[in-house]
Structure 1
Amino acid sequence: MPGEIATDRRLWELTGKDGLHFLQGLVSNDVRPLERADGIVWAALLSPQGKYLADFFIVRLAGRLFIDISDRLAEATFRRLGMYKLRADVQIAPLDLPVVRGLGEPPTGALPDPRHPDLGWRGYGLTGDAPSIDWDAIRVAQVIPESGLELIPDDSYILESGFERLHGVDFRKGCYVGQEVTARMKHKTELRKGLVRVSISGDAPFGAEITADGKPVGTLFTRSGDRAIAFVRHDRAAGEMRAGEAVLALDSAET
């Protein structure tokens, strides 16, 4: 299967000797492996209060350093990165290269999506076709959040959004913006809320409130067929739930 052009993604290049060091002090994941070899890391940028602001891929390819980010988050994210730059020797500029992603055998130069094997590969500057792959079906099956959908700036917490399971956070890397709150959620509390997969029968809009026994449970997000991603309070997400005209239940095969 050929790759498709991800029309909703934007690519930026970081130049200057401090690029990786600059990112290491800001993002949720450890980017130091990219000092030694080409590769790809998925990470989040958080507020000082530990809330999600953006997620993106940090890519080293042929010695060059790129950021692959959702188009809807790009401008605000790079304004914020500029605030942190201070005297660091790092420059950030947009690149007119397509982001290509696909399933199956990767072409030369492509890198595996680090979040989950079912998400295939990503390539930069490669030839691609028009979008055709049902990525929502894959995301729902594996409970993988998407920026601007399940991942809500200034609202979501990355541990409640599955970043640990999806290799988007490192608890040994040291300090970064929002690290203290994230570490406290990891080590001192049990997560009471989070993203899950639910079965769904009936109609309900994206963003519908989920209830059980008249009490709020959470929010319905991306749907694919008879399953969907939902954000729920774990202590209330038992038995039958409702959203709009739909009936929901935790998926018995939840991953």
Structure 2
Amino acid sequence: MPSATYAHLTDRSLIKVAGDEATHFLQNLVTSDIDNLGQLGAASAALLTPQGKILFDFLIYKFDDVYYVDAPSAVATDLLKRLTFYRLRAKVDLEAVDAEIGVFAVWGNGKAADKGLLSVNDPRLEALGQRVVGQIDQLSQTLDGVAADLSAYDAHRIAHGVPEGLKDYDYSDIFPHDADLDQLNGVSFTKGCYVGQEVVSRVQHRGTARKRFVKVESSSALFDKGTDLTAAGKNVGTLGSTAVGQNGSVGLALIRLDKVAQAKDNGNPLLCGDVEVDVILPDWAKFTWPETSAAD
């Protein structure tokens, strides 16, 4: 049986959230249900603009009575400032975690068990594996399996159709439904209010999410993030991150479901730049192609 694969996620940083009101603070701020996090050990979440767009996306872990926010390093300082802005007089302590503490991903066969400070299943999708937090030097030597790099993890993530902020989309540009956060356990529709909640709830209850991240595959190399996807000369989406697949290239793209469905019905090829691509719904997706008419 092949062994597990693990990688130090060198592009991730941690923010510590502690204090008597830490749970209440996060519960009223982010998209996921923090009250249930103690049962699961981890949550996928986002902090939104008042208009409901994703300002930051991240994972949250709970260890004892302390929360750890696992966010892209490129925006960790900005996220800490934003959380501090919202703290007001709440009894909450916020601080960046020492750089010697890192985040590892473990996927494939086997588990990281109780290695490191904490070890949890990735809350977005079981197939993504585990997230392990601990001393970087120690985990690099004690994790079981085959060591890989960040690009290997990204290829694993892309193959399972899971988008991430900065890698696949820019912040303040798209809504949680666009990024599939509602499908990947990143949004609670049963808890109370949080920043941007009204807009997200409206999209959910009206069923008006027309844009979604999906997988794209091609036998040829794909272009850079931001390249347009077109059909019959019209824009139908935008490419996110890409990786080398088993039979060519695989990537993620934010598409208009209705426009791509129409192109498929009309027999129009889908192009990324000048490269033809197949567009595939992830196997975990609960959304489907909308019904269209080829005569439209």
TM-score by length of 2: 0.80
For the residues of structure 2 that align with 1:60 and 1:71, how far apart are their CA atoms?
20
8 Å contact from structure 1 (residues 14, 92) kept in 2: yes
CA-CA distance at 1:248 after TM superposition? 1.4
Q: Are residue 175 (structure 1) and residue 193 (structure 2) matched?
A: yes
The structure 1 segments of at least 4 consecutive aligned residues displaced by more than 6 Å after TM superposition are none
Instruction: Quote the Cα distance in structure 2 between the aligned partners of 1:222 and 1:52.
Output: 18
Q: Judging changes above 3 Å, is the alpha-carbon distance between structure 1 residues 160 and 113 closer, same or farther for their aligned structure 2 residues?
A: same
1:45 CA drift (Å)? 0.3
Where 1:160 maps in the other structure, the secondary structure is coil
Aligned counterparts, 1:54-65, within 5 A: 54-65=56-67
SS of corresponding position for 1:44: strand
Identify the structure with the greater helix proportion.
2
Counterpart residue type for residue 69 of structure 1: A
**Which residue of structure 1 lines up, in the alignment, with residue 22 of structure 2?**
19
Which one of 244, 248, 258 corresponds to residue 235 of structure 1?
A: 258
Aligned-residue offset at 1:142: 2.1
1:181 deviates by 0.3
SS of aligned partner of 1:124:
strand
Matches within 5 A, 1:168-247: 168-203=186-221, 204-224=223-243, 225=245, 226-237=249-260, 238-239=263-264, 240-247=269-276
Question: Which sits farther off after the overlay, 172-181 or 216-225?
Answer: 216-225
Q: Structure 1 residue 140: deviation in Å?
A: 2.2
In the alignment, is the contact (CA less than 8 A) between 2:214 and 2:282 conserved in 1?
no
1:236–1:42 CA distance, 2 compared to 1 (3 A): same
Counterpart for residue 149 of structure 2: 132
- The answer to whether the 8 A contact 1:197-1:254 is kept is no
Which residue does 2:280 correspond to in 1? 251
What's 2:72 paired with? Answer: 70
Superimposed CA distance per residue, residues 220-242 of structure 1 (whole angstroms, 9 cap, x where no aligned partner): 11223232211111122133111
- Distance, in Å, in 2 between the alignment partners of 1:92 and 1:160 is 30
Return the offset for 1:253.
7.2
How far 1:118 sits from its partner (Å)? 1.5
Indicate the larger mover: 171-180 or 11-20.
11-20
* 8 Å contact from structure 2 (residues 240, 254) kept in 1: yes
CA distance in 1, matches of 2:68, 2:281: 39
**Secondary structure in 2 matching 1:74:** helix
**Identity over aligned pairs, percent:** 35
Provide structure 2 residue ranges, at least 5 long, that are not aligned to the other structure.
141-146, 285-296
Q: CA RMSD in A?
A: 2.0
Aligned counterparts of 2:164 and 2:40: Cα–Cα separation in 1: 25
